[in-house]
Each structure stands twice: as C-alpha cells, then as structure tokens.
C-alpha cells in the first residue's frame, strides 16, 4: 500500500504537542510518511523551549504531492503568519493537498494564506475572538474540538489535535484502526468533533459561595439523583428563587442547564465504559427514559446514545 504523505508545518514558538500528538497518532496507525517543514531547516524551538529538528525548509521541500497538510499553532503564529515565504508555501501546498488541517492557532496561518474564507473553523477558545475580529469572512465556532468543512479540518487547542488525527485515521483506514490506536496510546476516549472543548467543570465559572459549592458538589456526586430546583434549595438551605438567582450569577448558567450537562457527561462515560442497556444508563444518569436521553444527546452532541457508544468507546470487547 502506498504511504500517505503527511507534512507538518512548524515555526519558532510553535506548540510542541500540536506536532508530537498528531504525529504519534499517524505513526501508530501505520501507512503514513510524516515530514516536518519549517521556514528554515534545522532546529526549531517550541514555545516550551523544546528544540525540534525540521528536516526541511520551505525553500527545499516540494509543496506538491502532499496528502494531508497539518499546520501547528502556538504563540509564534503571530510572527509566522507575517512570513510571506512561509505563507506562500502553505498556499501552494494546500492547492494540491487532499486535506488541509490546523491545530489550535495554526488556523491563523491558513487564514493568512486565504484558505478558510467563508469556511466554518474552530481554534483554541482563547484565540477565537481574535480570529473572528481579524478575519470577519471566516465563520468561527468556539465550541467544537474539531470541525470539517470540505477538505479543510481545524481543531481546538493542544490535545484536540490528537482527536483530529484519530478522525483523519478513521477517514483513511476505518474505525477499527482508529480505535486500536486510541487504545494503544491510552487515550481515554476518541471524542467526536462536535463535543465541546470544555467539560462541564471547565466551561462554567466556579462557585464563589459555600451554598453554591454545596449544590455543585451534590450534582457531581450523583448526577442521577433528584436535582430539581426545590431539591437543591432544600439541600443547601436557600429558597428556590434565591438559589436560582445566586447559582446563575456565580456559574453563568442556571441550575437546570448545569444539571443537564453534568448528566450528559455522566451518560457519555457510562456508555463508553460499560455494556448496560441505554435504558439503564438513562435511568442511572437521571434522564428517566431512553427517549429523553436520546433527545438530549442529539441536542448536545448530534448523535444517538447507541451510536455514540459504537463509535467512541475504546475498551476491547470479546
């Protein structure tokens, strides 16, 4: 089988995991020839200080014949995107590549090369506003961990590059190979692209008072328990109206929405880790019925619970 040629673009100040994570995924999958290109060949220093050897510079690596172009991100992207030689090479490479991808803020280089105009892309949440302001012709979605728009794939920060690489491997070699790689690399879960960049504990603000901390702790300790506003209010010693107001003010989301997101994540873990019927998972995680769980999954993840289990669990079944 002919190897697919993957070319990684790096530069001084790149995020090392944007390169190493996806590269390891492709190497473990097999069937790929991975090359690294930088503005100049030789040592390239990552933002962390890690030196990486780029075997090629853009002046000596042929931009044709590339299967997949992977552009890393990192703080150095702000300088790299103003390098006309680098941008011209990326534009030339993208013209013939089957797929063009970016990790984290690497999408800024794609934007500088004019490759994502009128496309839907994502990036690290901390750079999304800047991308939208500087490139109003680009449709920036701050939530998913990766997005495919035609032959352009973009991903959020750092570890999301590994999720993107696994999706590319599945696109090339099938689900079984992608899951085998995920198992071997001890990745907890091969996440779907439309999963949020944040777990519920990260996307919400943190509670600043004891009653709200107690409510949050109760929700996380048993997502399937009764967590209606009256139940939570009785648990923390506030009136329902007072709890609703303070919870929303401190966490930026009302209690009902918070509980639902926690339950969705609990159901995701249960579906991936075990073989319990969807109905049992729904009851245990507080949804009451499989139909309610299905509707909630479609609203949050765009996939049915059974399909989520089939596609994204990484444990071996005999």
- Active-site annotation holder among 72, 104, 218, 267: 104
Residues with Cβ < 8 Å from 47, sequence gap 6 or more? Answer: 13, 14, 15, 16, 74, 75, 76
- DSSP three-state, residue 101: strand
* Euclidean distance between CA atoms 170 and 178, whole angstroms: 5
Tokens linked to 11: 């530069």
Phi, psi of 210 (to 5 degrees): -60, -45
The end-to-end CA distance of the chain, in Å, is 29
Consecutive H or E run containing 54: strand 51-54
* Euclidean distance between CA atoms 75 and 304, whole angstroms: 38
Separation in Å, CA 139 to CA 119, 129, 130, 168, 234 = 6, 11, 12, 22, 44
Contact 34, 54 (CB under 8 A): no
Does 285 participate in catalysis according to the annotation? no
Q: Annotated active-site positions, please?
A: 104
């Amino acid at each position: 089988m002919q190897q697919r040629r993957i070319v990684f673009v790096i530069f001084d100040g790149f995020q090392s995991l944007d390169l190493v994570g996806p590269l390891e995924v492709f190497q473990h999958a097999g069937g790929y020839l991975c090359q690294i290109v930088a503005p100049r060949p030789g040592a390239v220093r990552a933002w962390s200080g890690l030196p990486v050897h780029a075997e090629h510079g853009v002046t000596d690596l042929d931009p044709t014949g590339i299967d997949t172009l992977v552009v890393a991100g990192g703080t150095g992207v702000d300088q790299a995107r103003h390098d006309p030689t680098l941008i011209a090479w990326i534009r030339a490479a993208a013209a013939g590549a089957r797929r063009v991808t970016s990790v984290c803020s690497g999408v800024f280089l794609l934007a500088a090369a004019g490759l994502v105009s009128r496309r839907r892309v994502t990036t690290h949440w901390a750079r999304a506003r800047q991308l939208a302001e500087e490139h109003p012709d680009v449709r920036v979605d701050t939530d998913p961990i990766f997005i495919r728009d035609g032959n352009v794939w973009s991903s959020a920060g750092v570890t999301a590059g590994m999720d993107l690489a696994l999706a590319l491997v599945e696109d090339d070699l099938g689900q079984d190979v992608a899951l085998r790689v995920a198992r071997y690399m001890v990745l907890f879960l091969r996440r779907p692209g439309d999963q949020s960049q944040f777990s519920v504990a990260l996307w919400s603000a943190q509670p600043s008072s004891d009653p709200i901390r107690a409510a949050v702790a109760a929700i996380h300790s048993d997502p399937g328990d009764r967590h209606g506003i009256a139940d939570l209010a009785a648990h923390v010693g506030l009136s329902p109206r007072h709890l609703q107001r303070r919870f929303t003010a401190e966490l930026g989301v009302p209690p009902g929405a918070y509980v639902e997101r926690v339950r969705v994540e609990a159901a995701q873990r249960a579906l991936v880790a075990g073989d319990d019927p969807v109905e049992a998972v729904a009851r245990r995680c507080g949804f009451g019925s499989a139909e309610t769980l299905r509707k909630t999954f479609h609203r949050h993840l765009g996939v049915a619970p059974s399909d989520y289990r089939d596609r994204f669990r990484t444990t071996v079944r005999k």
